Amino acid sequence: MVRAAFSTINKMIDFKQHVVEALHKVCPSLTLEQLTVLVEVPPDAKMGDFAFPCFQLAKAEKKNPKQLAEDISKAISCDTKLVERVAATGPYVNFFLNRTAFMAQILKTVADNAGQYGHSKLGQGKTVIVEYSSPNIAKPFGVGHLRTTVIGASLTRIYSALGYKVVGINYLGDWGTQFGKLMEAYSRWGDDAELAKHPIQHLYNLYVRFHKEVETDPTLEDKGRAWFQKLESGDAAAVSQWTRFREESIREFERMYAELGIHFDVYEGESDYPKAADAAVSDLVTRGVAIESEGAIVVPLGDDMPPALLRKQDGTTLYLSRDLAAIDARKKKYHFDKILYVVGSEQILHFKQLKALLEKEQPAWAATVEHIPFGRIQGISTRKGTLVFLEDLLSETQERALEKIREAKVLDVNVDENEVARKVGIGAIVFNDLRTRRVKDVEFSWDKVLSFEGETGPYLQYAYARIGRLMEKVGVKVDSKTDVTPLNQEEAWAITRMLANYPNVIRNAAESNEPSFISTYLTDLASAFSSFYQNHRILGASPEFQKAAMLLVGNVRSVLHHGLTLLGVPPIERM
């Protein structure tokens, strides 16, 4: 079954293969591999379905690229069952496919692989670690952490679709002197019931209170330090208190992750690594890689960046040394081929230093380490204020979604509006994080993210549901062997080209670690569907047209479903 599916996909590539082989016969100086890379899909169908740019070859052969394109298009011979026409436009040789043949093949392939179309074996036998989310205990889980969570989760799904073994790791910020402060604060103002009910909020309030009270009572600072020392030396009371903070916080994080449909394979934390970090630093000192500087231990990293600070004057380990120990442990445990750290742009220097340290010691695997930075979400505020907790953000989005849905009257009868509002809320927030290239800052506006028009999650969810409703109304079963000749028009052709491109989009998204490639693609696909739908009456059309249209539209629907799922935007069946 699976094998059959793959061979169909391979057959689909034959069109390009045919073009490449035909080109090779007239341009033997370029190999099939080189030609495969050079032959591209022009953005506009008017320019053909494949194009061969002649610049490179013209340069090598010292010819004029325009003339060369002319010569090639005259000399080349293609199978007219596959390629209808070859024409030179400027320095390009453009290939126009036999649309009916290509369409029949693509539409059949997508339909026969429903739910799996776009998957590949590219990553077979390879392991990718995606470290993402990684919130700090006792600090608010804010919009920045939401963004790593959303981007990271999407990357895990994208790599999985490409056949990689993916390990999703959540690396909690659960260690450091602030925990001593927190314990001191808890011993004074803590409330067990509150901790159980709203751990993150309660711990955060304690943290804020500590910093306020320390202004009038400076002895608090020392008391906090003493607690942390107790914790580091394994004092039972301190450890049990800290464990409780950690566990309660994780429980609350998990509630949010569940709401977003996210699951981690592994929870780690900085607390797992102080010992190993200490040993690693000592080892670097022994081998003369790390040196003492003003009582601290550092590794000089050249002129381009500040030295890596690995141990403080007081002997404690640091964020960077713990990361060094963590990656070492992960390498031993998972033998990864690639590790992605999905962490905001503020930490670019940190990861540069981490990589530079690895380059000194293990250049081969330094190359497998990639920081995936992202920009900030700006201008966000909820009814509660500008310090945004994820929980409040999600519940407010859902309330607003409900208002919006009622206002827009988009819902079908018999649909649970609360359930739709829940999904629209999540879709709006998630899509907004993935809408543009990740390094860009994102301007947040309630009206925009919740709009049913434009590049938004709700627009795609609505398009998906609308296609479902249309198919139900037409009531014709999708048959992948349907004759597609009635679809011989521009709008259907545009959709076909996009469907054919979907596997490339997923591959490119992984290559650049850019889920936004998929969001942009889905928006384009949904609007291509819209113009098809506007220009061609389906209800009341001939049975032949309806059958063919249902194959096309059913494929759009399944690719939308697939893409939305990769992003983490919940598809909505009925709305």
Q: Which residues contribute to the site for ligand ARG (CB under 6 A)?
A: 131, 134-136, 171, 173, 323, 341, 343
β-sheet bridge partners, residue 165: 127
E strands, 295-415, in order: 296-299, 308-311, 338-342, 369-372, 377-378
CA distance 495 to 278: 57
* Nearest distance, CB of residue 367 and ligand ARG, angstroms: 18
Residue 143 CA to residue 134 CA, distance in Å, equals 13
Nearest to 280 by CA among 339, 215, 345, 324: 324
Q: Which is nearer to ligand ARG, 178 or 398 (CB)?
A: 178
Residue 51 or 137 with smaller CB distance to ligand ARG: 137
> Six-digit token pair at 13?
């590539």
If we measure between CA atoms, which residue out of 142, 139, 41 comes closest to residue 499? 41
Give the Cα separation of 493 and 98 in Å (integer): 11
In the bound state with ligand ARG, the residue whose beta carbon lies nearer, of 128 and 465, is 128
Structure tokens at 28: 């033997």
- Ordered alpha helix ranges (H), 62-162: 65-75, 99-112, 143-161
Q: Other CB atoms closer than 10 Å to residue 444's CB: what's the count?
A: 19
Q: Which is nearer to ligand ARG, 173 or 307 (CB)?
A: 173
Shortest CB 292 distance to ligand ARG, Å? 25
| Minimum gap (Å) between residue 380 Cβ and ligand ARG | 18
Question: What is d(CA 134, CA 351) in angstroms, rounded to the nearest whole number?
Answer: 15
Taking the complex as a whole, the smallest distance from the CB of residue 304 to ligand ARG amounts, in Å, to: 20
Residue among 75 and 349 whose Cβ is closer to ligand ARG: 349
- Closest CB 282 distance from ligand ARG, rounded Å: 21
Sequence-ordered strand ranges (E) for 289-428? 291-293, 296-299, 308-311, 338-342, 369-372, 377-378
CB of residue 230 to ligand ARG, shortest distance in Å: 23
Task: Write the DSSP symbol of residue 570.
Answer: P
* Torsion over CA: 175, 177, 182, 187 (sign): positive
Residue 99 CB, shortest distance to ligand ARG, in Å, is 50
Return all residues near 315 (Cβ < 8 A) that are at least 6 apart.
Answer: none
Q: Which is nearer to ligand ARG, 15 or 171 (CB)?
A: 171
CA dist., res. 455 & res. 498, Å (int): 17
Nearest distance, CB of residue 4 and ligand ARG, angstroms: 43
CB nearer ligand ARG, residue 149 or residue 558: 149
Separation CA 148–CA 132 (nearest Å): 6
Per the rule left: phi > 0, alpha: psi between -120 and 50, beta: everything else, 549 is: alpha
For ligand ARG, the closer of residues 117 and 171 by Cβ is: 171
| Alpha carbon distance 130, 109 (integer Å) | 31
| Least gap, CB of 492 to ligand ARG (angstroms) | 47
- Please, what is the angle between helix 274-286 and helix 319-334, to 10°? 100
Closer by beta carbon to ligand ARG, 38 or else 340? 340
Decide whether 136 or 353 has the Cβ nearer to ligand ARG.
Answer: 136
Q: Which is nearer to ligand ARG, 204 or 341 (CB)?
A: 341
Work out how close the CB of 272 gets to ligand ARG at its nearest, in angstroms, rounded to a whole number.
Answer: 11
Q: Which is nearer to ligand ARG, 171 or 186 (CB)?
A: 171
Query: 3-class DSSP state for residue 235?
Result: coil
The residue (of 131 and 252) whose beta carbon lies closer to ligand ARG is: 131
CB of 344 to ligand ARG, least distance (A): 7
The token pair at 211 is 């910093």
Closest approach, Cβ 310 to ligand ARG, in A, equals 14
Return all residues near 433 (Cβ < 8 A) that are at least 6 apart.
146, 147, 150, 151, 377, 442
CA angle (247, 252, 254) in 5-degree steps: 95
Pairing of strands 296-299, 291-293: antiparallel
3-state secondary structure (DSSP) of residue 131 = strand
Report the first-to-last Cα separation within the chain, whole angstroms: 34
Q: Which residue is nearest to ligand ARG (CB)?
A: 173
Residue type, 35: L
CB atoms within 10 A of CB 222: 11
CB of 374 to ligand ARG, least distance (A): 12
Q: Among residues 147 and 497, whose Cβ is nearest to ligand ARG?
A: 147
Please report how close the Cβ of residue 133 comes to ligand ARG at its closest, in angstroms.
Answer: 9
Question: Rounded to the nearest whole angstrom, what is the least distance from the CB of residue 442 to ligand ARG in the complex?
Answer: 18
Residue placing its CB nearer to ligand ARG in the complex, 32 or 349:
349
SS3 content of the chain, % helix, strand, coil (to 5): 60, 10, 30
**How far apart, in whole angstroms, are the C-alpha atoms of residue 468 and residue 316?**
59
